[in-house]
Amino acid sequence: MPEWRTVTLGRQSLRVALWSGDAQATPLLFFNGIGASLEMLSPLAQALPGIPIIAFDIPGVGLSPARWLPYRLWNMARLAGRLLDHLGIGRVDVLGVSWGGTLAQQFALQNPRRCRRLVLAATAQGAWMVPGRLKVLRHFISPRRHNDAVHRERIAGEIYGGRARTDPQLMRSLHNCIKPTSRYGYLLQQLAVAGWCSVPWLPLLRQPTLILAGNDDPVVPLINARLMHKLIRRSHLHVFDDGHLFVLSQPEATAGVLQQFLRTGPTHG
């Protein structure tokens, strides 16, 4: 179980979760998907018992109060750095899932020395990505899938693909991990990535990078992971036979690939 804290940085309070691990291991800083609170990390965190993990609810999500004004990804990357300073943590590995993967890219760019290794899961390069179908993306306009369990189960296969198509119990098993989110907090996250694009500077990233993707992801088609793999020089691509939620539907398999990378890094780019 994590240690829960409330950390105040200037005018911003954050709900923070800390999972303990090997004192000699590099801590893993985790950025979650849009509208997703810290509870969504539980399956993967439990599969990584030896790795210290730091995560926080983005302002407006979970139990972190929203900001009054919109923010950009660079603001959140700087806030994450301030949190690490507050906790007395220096160098970290960084993992971002979906929306959190865009923030992870931004953090790695702004913190080339602090970010040792980078993991990008079910994510893309922003405005120049190859998008999913409109009938899928329309479900991401609002946070209804976070707030309405019946609606979430009905559309899960269509929007998440992979095991969500074939296993009706998957979403029910994750019920306790998916918490309601506010429309305003969700809107702030959408505005943070509006127009953002990492394509011009991905070749500048120094960190060894692991790109994780599903081969049946209706939200972020696999071609985006392949493009990031081409652009990030020290990168390795691992494809799961699954959809957008492979981190949740296959936490042990994800953890296995992740642990190997954090120990050794990619062997080829």
- Using DSSP, state whether 213 is helix, strand or coil: strand
> How far is the C-alpha of 122 from the C-alpha of 71, rounded, in Å?
23
Q: Is 42 one of the catalytic residues?
A: no
> How far is the C-alpha of 216 from the C-alpha of 161, rounded, in Å?
6
CA distances from 104 to 21, 28, 74, 97, 125 (A): 22, 11, 10, 8, 11
Q: Which helix (H) or strand (E) holds 3?
A: strand 3-9
> How far is the C-alpha of 28 from the C-alpha of 51, rounded, in Å?
7
> How far is the C-alpha of 56 from the C-alpha of 58, rounded, in Å?
6
Q: In this structure, are strands 115-121 and 3-9 parallel, antiparallel, or unpaired? A: unpaired
Instruction: Determine contact, residues 7/85, Cβ cutoff 8 Å.
Output: no
Which residue is catalytic, options 37, 42, 64, 98?
Answer: 98
Instruction: Determine contact, residues 189/35, Cβ cutoff 8 Å.
Output: yes
Among all residues, which ones are annotated catalytic?
Answer: 98
